[in-house]
Each structure stands twice: as structure tokens, then as C-alpha cells.
Structure 1
């Protein structure tokens, strides 16, 4: 019979490995995320199973699945990791005489909104230093989940295991078209008016969520867009739209005012539903991250009207 107060010898690392494997359901991908070799993942999972006396995963050559015990353990494992993260954040916030550093993953197209966020955050928390990181779309959420970033601004993400997503604003898209085109003579455009021109869009593999959103918005407006050469960089794409065969693209309203194009025009869209939701991705909500979310919402209010 177990003695009162007897503890399982479960390591935090084993819990982390379990959660990662439960999310990936593939030993190779889990090892890649954890930056370890695959046998290390198998070894830690086996030790955890021995300690708990249950099998957590069904393993075959073709797939890995959670057992019923694994499914019951997963939410508790998330809670353990979140609790540890909160404890670490609490100590970090104290700073031991030094200002805590808040590591934020940023995204393109924030424009002046980023300046407002930082100014408001400094007003709310003068003791905090901010470190900004420009991280590709595909790894921004991973770095938050792995603890390399404290928070990240992400667009068009609805849910992600192991993370809290705090909505901070919805952002309108702005049409970019040749300044000399007849449609540029209007102060605002309905999306369907652009159907006559080919669309330049970022390749789907570079940003699948944005690509799918734009195509669906066009279909909702009643047309299937004709795709032109892909969107590459702001400089090159704007130059080609302005000087080459007439075409159009969409960009975040935050970029308007940060660039000075000579031969293209920015026009706001009349379609109210063409808005991109932006969230703050965090592992768990702390007082400091609540301050950051407040600063983001404040910035959205201050920069709500696009310059078209």
C-alpha cells in the first residue's frame, strides 16, 4: 500500500515531451520541435509511462495515437506546464533588481501601430524592457510555445493547442492598384469592381491563411480572381503594378503611410467583412501580458482609420 505523501518521480521534462508528442503524434516531428534526437523522446515517454503505470500512446509503424489514459492526462499536463510558466513569469516580473525583458514576435504591416503599442506599454509598465523579434509566420507560434518568445502578434489564427489567443484588433485590407487606372479615381472600391484586373497574391505556401482568406473574400464578392505573378516584396510588387500590365493586390492598412509609392494608389474597400483578425499568442496570461494586450487594443483604437 502506498504511504501517505508518496510522490511520483515525474520530471517536468517528461511532461513537456508528452505534450509535444500528443500534439504532433509523430516521434520525428516531436523530436524536431524539442531539438533532441528521436530516441530521447521515446526514452522519456517510456519512463513516464513506467512511472505512472499506464500506456499513454498506441504506437504502430504508421501512426501514433493517444490512449484513453493519454487523453485524460493531456489537459492536466497543459495545466502543469502553464502553472510552471506562471511561476517563472512571476519571478521574472520581480526582476531581482533588473527590469524584466518582454520578448515579442512581430509581424509585417503593423506600421505606426507598433510605435503606439510600445509607447502605451511603457506608460503602463515603466519597469519593463521590450525586445522585438521579426519571426517568420511558420515559426512564430512555435517560439511562443517553446518559450523563446513571451508573446507574438498573429493574424488569422483561431486556436492552437497549448497557447492562449487574446483578440486585440481586426484590421482592414487596402487595395493597391495603378494610380493611372480609372478605378483609382474612386475614393473607395467594392471588391467585385477589381474582378476585371489580375490579382497578385503571396504564394500559398508562404502564407496559406492569408491566401485562402483573400480568395474566399473574392468568391464571396461574386468572382473568381485571375491570379497574376506572385507578390514578392513591397518595392518590387508596387513597381510592377505601377509600371507593368494593370493588376492589383491587397495589403494591411497598417502599411499605408509607411511607404511612399509613386505610381500606385491605395484605396479602402467598401466590403465590411474584409477584415483580418489579429491576436496576441501567449503560453499563459500574466499581469504583464495583460498590460501588453491592453496596449495593443489602445493602439488599435488610436489608428483605426486607414489613410486611403
Structure 2
């Protein structure tokens, strides 16, 4: 059964004859008659009574007519959805996300909903390596990544930059400064997570220290955020560096100061090549959020 057979059948039923149906469809009458007869043979029932000068529906034809209309309407909706997907107004965008900084991800999704209300976003939180692998395989359409300078087989589109902050004992003389540099902290033990826990961020900090000519000794490793800050406030002088996710901590004997350099870049990892409409909408939303900062 072909859609055009159902379309011809409906046209004949609504126009009351093969000739008028052919005029409506802008084809010859013989083509309409041929396709309707093929449909009748396939279904095994007559759809029209051709015994008089007028063409009338048989009982089977009357029963089939609403079903044929439903099928054609569904086909039309499918074509319209496909057209909207091609235009980026509809569809599903599978996005690998990160936690923070701030509320940018939520604001981006809000902007995206305003730009393309019918575009469904399916956010997924995955470890970095799995996030990148999912983009390469097509399981994700894009993924947000932090502090990543390159990703083989992918293109990284910078979308926003955030400052970094230093936490150090509030009694330390450096805590009196409004902003700190890595050179200021060169002699103070640094608490940094092991490289295998977060390679991009680890490399960002250690690389920036070398570039600044500062090689602070490593102190106890960074464990959890709260535990590390509690140790900084209570233990031997040391410092750590972090980016804002859910506001600044308020712990006794701990001071938080901005770090002048480096900054933290968040990028959108995508497959190489021109972005499709849905990704263009996402980039537009990201740009709108960044421009309102």
C-alpha cells in the first residue's frame, strides 16, 4: 500500500468522481483509476460502486475513508516534523553538561527554550572521558568541557570564561591582599587533586605556575572541597585553587581571594564541520547568556 494510493482514494471519495479527482491532483484520470484499482486488489475489497454514472463509496470504502485520512494526516505531520528538525525548530539535542560554574547551564537552557520552544534538550552528566567519547560516537550532539586545550577528533568552541579563586588561611599575610597571583603563592604548599582525578584542571594550574616562574611545593592532596578548606583553616599554612560552582564557602579561619591568572575556559565539544541548526541555536543561547554577564 502506497500513500499516493490512499491520497487518490480520498480524492475520488471527496470529489465524487475520478475525473474531478484527477483535476484536483493535476494528473490524468487513468492514473487515478489505475492506482485505486491496485489499492482495491491489495485490500481485497471494492471501495467504489462503479455501476452507475456516479461513483459512490461501498460500505468498505466508507469504513476505510476515515482511516485513510488519518494515515495521510500522520504522514503530513511526519513531514512537517522532519522539516522543523532540519530547521532546528524541533527535535532532540543530547548535551553533555558540567556542574556550574554558577547557573549558566540553567540560564542557557532557558534561553534555548525561548529560541526553539519545541527543541527537546536531554542533558547528561558523564565523566570527561565518557563525555568526549559520546560526542565522537554520536551518542551526544555536544558536550560542555572545562579547561581542555584540545580533544583529538573534536572541535572545541570556547563559550565562557570564569575567574579562579584561592583559599588560604585567613591569618596568613597574603590574605590581606585583594587579589593574588601565582607568584605570590610560590612558597606556600599547594593542595591540588591528583592529575588522574581531573587532568585538564591539574594541567591548567601546574602549567600556569611554570609559566609564572612559580613552583609551589605540593601539600596534602585535595580531597573534597569542604574537607580541604577545613584543613586549610585548621592545619599548617597551605592553599588551594577552585572555581565557583554554588557560591563561596563561609568557613572560619579561611580566606577566599581572586586569582589574577589563569582563568577557566569552558568550551563546547562538537564534531568538526559546520554545526547543524540545533547546535546553532545552542550556541546562540550560550552567547546570549554570556552577553548578559
TM-score bracket for the superposition, by shorter chain length: 0.5 to 0.7
Question: What TM-score does the superposition give when structure 2 sets the normalisation length?
Answer: 0.63
Equivalent residue for 1:266?
256
Tell me if structure 1 keeps the 8 A contact 2:192–2:240.
yes
Equivalent residue for 1:137?
128
Structure 2 gaps of 5+ residues are 1-80
Matched residue SS, 1:296:
helix
User: For 1:56-71, what aligned pairs fall within 5 Å after superposition?
Assistant: none
Equivalent residue for 1:275?
263
CA distance in 2, matches of 1:259, 1:177: 13
Tell me if structure 2 keeps the 8 A contact 1:92–1:100.
no
Structure 2 residue 153 is the aligned partner of structure 1 residue 162 = yes
Once the two structures are TM-superposed, the CA of residue 259 in structure 1 deviates from its matched residue by 4.4
Matched residue SS, 2:196:
coil
Equivalent residue for 1:180?
171
Structure 2 residue 99 is the aligned partner of structure 1 residue 111 = no
**Closer/same/farther in 2, CA of residues 242 and 101 from structure 1, 3 Å limit:** farther
CA distance in 2, matches of 1:156, 1:99: 31
CA distance in 2, matches of 1:248, 1:123: 42
Matched residue SS, 2:285:
helix
Structure 1 gaps of 5+ residues are 1-89, 304-308
Bigger drift between 223-232 and 155-164 goes to 155-164
CA distance in 2, matches of 1:237, 1:184: 17
Tell me if structure 1 keeps the 8 A contact 2:97–2:123.
yes
Once the two structures are TM-superposed, the CA of residue 189 in structure 1 deviates from its matched residue by 1.2
CA distance in 2, matches of 1:137, 1:259: 24
Once the two structures are TM-superposed, the CA of residue 92 in structure 1 deviates from its matched residue by 9.3
